[in-house]
Structure 1
């Protein structure tokens, strides 16, 4: 554990579930007070299954005054080894968020670096993410580069 400005970096615990689901809601522009959406129940179950699985997931948080104000998620994806991912071990970095009134303190950089250090510790080949236009300069500063691979999805 280390200090960051006024915040304390630590790994999330099962007790943090409710607070983290609330933060994740902010990513989707959802009212923090809205609690009936089905995704929240599924997100809480997913978090509970993975929070203590250090080989497959990392959930850094930063606390200020006992409240979580920033977090990110790193999950290991194992795929077919290839020229761009020799061991087939990719960490997906997602849900990077800092509560708006705490932005500008380096919290996002700190939690991203925490996930990168975890990725190295589990022998991942690379870290992938999807970045908003506003976040791209931060990721570029940390060494991420744009790829030419288009991203597509199919909602089932």
Structure 2
């Protein structure tokens, strides 16, 4: 069994990553004309080579990416919970169904945590699905009292 190779995504990985991200939204990969895809592809192209503000770890088995995560640096107002105002947002953690249970998610999250420390972030925030909670709690994440709210524009 291939343990998978952890590496940082490159510009050449954009299409594969878009297809993985689509799975997060239970979206049929055949719907390749969705507007979010072109925006995500453009954002990825601009961001992939900026390790000071974005981290794109992937797990590769053979020649295919089977798992990925994203860490993005968010700069905000320093406050008691975030003294420097540097928060990393962990998002889009996904492993293809046939490759789950091999520790890939843990390896990806640990990679983003290492990166967050290397760029002097204060904390890492995420929104966990019920399926992901156990992984994040095992790594020391805690539930906060502030619920997330959003407004789509």
Please classify the TM superposition score into its range, dividing by the shorter chain length.
Answer: over 0.9
CA deviations over 1:42-99 (Å, ceiling 9, x no partner): 0000000000000000000000011000000000000000000000000000000000
Aligned to 1:144: 141
Query: Which residue among 47, 68, 83 is the counterpart of 2:44?
Result: 47
Q: Equivalents in 1 of 2:29, 2:147: separation in Å?
A: 32
TM-score norm. by structure 2 comes to 0.98
Write out the 4+ residue segments of structure 1 that deviate beyond 2 Å after TM superposition.
none
The Cα RMSD (Å) is: 1.1
Residue 36 (1) aligns with residue 33 (2): yes
Query: Which residue among 123, 126, 134 is the counterpart of 1:126?
Result: 123
Unaligned runs of 5+ in 1: none
Query: Which residue among 71, 85, 100 is the counterpart of 1:88?
Result: 85
CA deviations over 1:6-43 (Å, ceiling 9, x no partner): 20000000000000000000000001222010100000
CA deviations over 1:108-136 (Å, ceiling 9, x no partner): 00000000000000000000000011211
Aligned to 1:25: 22
Q: Answer whether contact 1:90 1:127 (CA < 8 A) is retained.
A: yes
Q: Answer whether contact 1:59 1:71 (CA < 8 A) is retained.
A: yes
TM-score norm. by structure 1 comes to 0.96
Aligned to 1:78: 75
CA shift at 1:150, angstroms? Answer: 1.4
Q: Equivalents in 1 of 2:132, 2:147: separation in Å?
A: 18
Q: Report how many aligned residue pairs link the two structures.
A: 153
CA shift at 1:5, angstroms? Answer: 5.3
